Each structure stands twice: as C-alpha cells, then as structure tokens.
Structure 1
Amino acid sequence: MPGKILIVDDEIHIRMLLEQTLEDLEEEHGVTILSASNGEEGLSLIKREKPDVVFLDIMMPKLNGYEVCRRIKDDPTLSGSLQIVLLTAKGQEVDRRQGLELGARHYMTKPFDPDEVLATARTLLGIPR
C-alpha cells in the first residue's frame, strides 16, 4: 500500500536531502513525496493531500512546526492517522516534550542520519526493510 510523505522545511537544502533520502521509497514502493517551504504551505498541503507521514521542521516562517501540530491536533479530520515526525535543530528535552504533547509521533534532531530517516519512514508507512 503506497503512501504519501510530506516534507515541510524552510531550508531548500534540507528538503532536497530528505527527498533524496526517501527517493528509494518512491521508486521501489510507489510512495509519493511532497514538499513545502513553510508551515502555512505545509498545512495547506496536509489538508489537500492527506499525507500519511509529515517530516516537519519547527523553526519556520509563517507558521512554526508547533503551530502546525496544534492545528492538526485541533482538527479531527486531520489528526486521525497522520503521523508527524518533528525534524529540527531544537534538541532540548523541553522542545521534544512540547512537540510530542502537540501530537508529533517522533522527534529527530538535525543534523539527522539519513538511514534513521528512511527507517522511520518505512516503519510509519508499514514498508518492510
């Protein structure tokens, strides 16, 4: 069962690296990879495309990742099966706790390990290794 992954990060190099990291899922399993450059655009894509997994930065213009999480959590049409992975430079425990309380399933810090990102995406989409 192919799924959809949305990458939301304001840094183009991070988005490109994540897309390259996840491209095997696209090529081998038919997973659709989408991306957005800020929280507002990301939330719009979430509402329209209904991705299965979102890799979400916290520090972004327009809407930060915490606010995106909050709006998803407050919208019962979005919060059901959507799995959010916060991927951020904010590595303090208080940041991690806040993200998880707002509905994120996972919290990863930058710089990230591409193998860990790929493994996380596979697990969340139910794709065997």
Structure 2
Amino acid sequence: MSKILCIEDNSDLRTDLVEEIAEAGYDVLEACDGQEGLEMILEHKPDLVISDITMPRKNGWQLVADLRENHPEFDGLPVVYLTALSDEKDMSKGLDQGACGYFTKPIDYDQLLDKLEELL
C-alpha cells in the first residue's frame, strides 16, 4: 500500500483530504505545516507528498526547496501542490520546482485521486 503525506494547515480541509485518500486505499500521514511535513518525510519516507503552499513556519515552496537542496535521497519523491494560489506564475513556479501536479482549491477529489493513481 502506498504511503501519502498530506501537508495542510487548515485542519478541516486536512481531515477531509486524509479521509478521501484513505478511502481510496492509501496509507495516509498528515502534517500541519511545512516544517512538520519535512520532519515526517525524513522519518516516514512517504511514496508521495501532497502539500499546501501558504502555511506557517515553512511554506510549501520552502519545503520543496529544502527537500531538493538538502536531502538528495528524496530527489525522486513526487510532490503535488494543493493550494488556493491559482495564478499562472504560481503554477509555473510549482512545476519548475519539480512538482508533479498542481491543484487549486476547492479540491476536485476525482481529479486528485486520478493523479495519485497515475503517479503511484
């Protein structure tokens, strides 16, 4: 069973996200911000990360930059952004950073789950 880490600072949205992904048959971990997310990645080695961008302590951009620059063992770790940032330049930045997907809120769970299946 693939392990997915969901990093989202909004607790209600994080709960919904975790439930939807778990119901699809994945093992799901959760973190409330980028710093906790990085710690979870290093400890639990998930198969894929779904991350918000705008979060306290360490945002999604910083998380992925830190991961790519300081933890080369995770170079191939797929990251999917899930964010309220819908501007074209934000989307381009995410994909340029190496994200495998970029979804805007509100979440279309069917599209997200299709992407997870494609990546895993």
Q: Same fold (TM over 0.5)?
A: yes
The alpha-carbon deviation at position 99 of structure 1 amounts to 1.0
Mapped to 2, the partners of 1:56 and 1:66 lie a distance apart of 9
Q: What is residue 76 of structure 1 aligned with on the other side?
A: 72
Q: What is residue 105 of structure 1 aligned with on the other side?
A: 100
Q: How does 1:1-129 map to 2 (within 5 A)?
A: 2-26=1-25, 31-74=26-69, 75-80=71-76, 82-125=77-120
Paired letter, 1:67: Q
Which runs of structure 1 show a deviation greater than 6 angstroms over 4 or more consecutive aligned residues? none
Q: Is the 8 A contact 1:3 1:32 kept in 2?
A: yes
The alpha-carbon deviation at position 73 of structure 1 amounts to 1.4
Which ranges in structure 2 are unaligned for 5 or more consecutive residues?
none
| 1:78-126 alpha-carbon deviations (Å, 9 max, x no partner) | 112x10000000000110111111121110000111111111112211x
Paired letter, 2:11: I
The alpha-carbon deviation at position 72 of structure 1 amounts to 1.4
The alpha-carbon deviation at position 24 of structure 1 amounts to 2.4
- TM-score, normalised on structure 1? 0.87
Paired letter, 2:106: P
- TM-score, normalised on structure 2? 0.94
The alpha-carbon deviation at position 35 of structure 1 amounts to 0.2
The alpha-carbon deviation at position 4 of structure 1 amounts to 0.6
RMSD over aligned Cα atoms: 1.0
For these two proteins, the number of residue pairs brought into alignment is: 119
The alpha-carbon deviation at position 3 of structure 1 amounts to 1.2
Which ranges in structure 1 are unaligned for 5 or more consecutive residues?
none
Paired letter, 1:95: D
